[in-house]
Amino acid sequence: MWFSSHPRPIFGVVTIETAPLTMPQLETLSPSRASDFKHCPQLFKFRAIDRIEVPATVHQARGTTAHLALQRLFDHPAPERTPELLFDLFRAAWVELRETEFAELFDDVGEERAWGMESLEILANYFEVEDPQAIEPLDRELDMCEELGDMTIRGILDRVEDGPDGLVITDYKTGTAPPQRFALPAFFALKIYALLLRARTGATPRALRLLYLNGPTEYTLEITDTQLDAMERQLEALWSAIERAITTATYPPRVSRLCDYCQYRDRCPAFSGGDPGRMDEDAAPIGVAAQG
């Protein structure tokens, strides 16, 4: 497909070199793990360093299944891209994923059926934010692995298309959108993908789109080279901060209201005693300037 030139990476994994007599080093970083560290260094440690597995949730199951269905929707000719087809693709994707990734997620068939009906209702909202019959993506589920200075950034973006003014990156969300005044931080990972796309193609994406299906709500952010240059400097600072954290084994938890929803809360030093070296919710992680 368009742009594709790299083998599929393991999305969101940070590779750490652990050869004897050498200091640990950050080799690759994904936008999602970069977001984790910016939000909370301890969360980054749980996910990227300790690789602690947590039980799958119904929200994760919905998101993974919906993404697969939306990706496959564009395998079909434009006139066939109807709600009925998308629903069928969702059901087929769930059959594929249920036993391999979400086994024992539901206690009984009734609970699973209720989740499925709610998922289809949310998925139907997709047609309120755009008409898939009028879109021909340049690529979907695009593998990205690019060198940015001394950094290697890798991940998979949902979709890229050619808009009236240039490239547009679109990301699907099955959750509820944040209020508009809090929406800017949600574009953090997409700005990184815009950097990767610019590095690969030489073209600066002109817009980033977040499609929240549970609403539905669409947020769009126009992008310039100046913004991406600033994003690259922020990412370089974040990379350096992660390297310092790895070298010193220091990952202070950043306490915020989101801690109430964190799956690692029961093992986090901020809540389990000891000396967590906590950061409050207005602090920036390990020397990284807080930016939108």
Mean pLDDT score across all residues of the chain: 87
Nearest by Cα to 10 from 59, 39, 47: 47
Q: How confident is the model at residue 249 (pLDDT cuts 50, 70, 90)?
A: very high
Alpha helices by DSSP H, the chain: 31-39, 41-44, 58-73, 83-101, 109-124, 126-129, 188-201, 225-248
How many whole angstroms separate alpha carbon 157 and alpha carbon 45? 23
**pLDDT computed for residue 23 by the predictor:** 54
**pLDDT computed for residue 273 by the predictor:** 59
Nearest by Cα to 31 from 174, 151, 207: 151
pLDDT in tens, 158-176: 999 998 889 999 999 999 9
Q: 189 burial class (0-12, 13-18, 19+ CB within 10 angstroms)?
A: buried
The residues near 9 (Cβ < 8 Å, ≥ 6 apart) are 28, 30, 143, 145, 154, 155, 156
How many whole angstroms separate alpha carbon 96 and alpha carbon 186? 30
Q: What is the mean pLDDT of residues 86-90?
A: 98
Is a pLDDT exceeding 80 seen at residue 42? yes
Q: What is the mean pLDDT of residues 32-54?
A: 94
Residue ranges of domains in the chain, CATH in brackets: 23-28+137-232 (3.90.320.10), 58-134 (no CATH)
Residue with tokens 């950034």, as numbered in its chain? 153
pLDDT in tens, 2-40: 544 443 333 344 554 444 445 567 899 999 999 999 999
**pLDDT computed for residue 77 by the predictor:** 98
Q: Report the Cα–Cα distance between both ends of the chain, in Å, rounded.
A: 32
Q: How confident is the model at residue 243 (pLDDT cuts 50, 70, 90)?
A: very high
Contact 205, 220 (CB under 8 A): no
- 173 has which bridge partners? 212
pTM given for the model: 0.83
Nearest by Cα to 33 from 50, 52, 14: 14
Contact 235, 227 (CB under 8 A): no
Q: How confident is the model at residue 284 (pLDDT cuts 50, 70, 90)?
A: very low
Is a pLDDT exceeding 60 seen at residue 129? yes
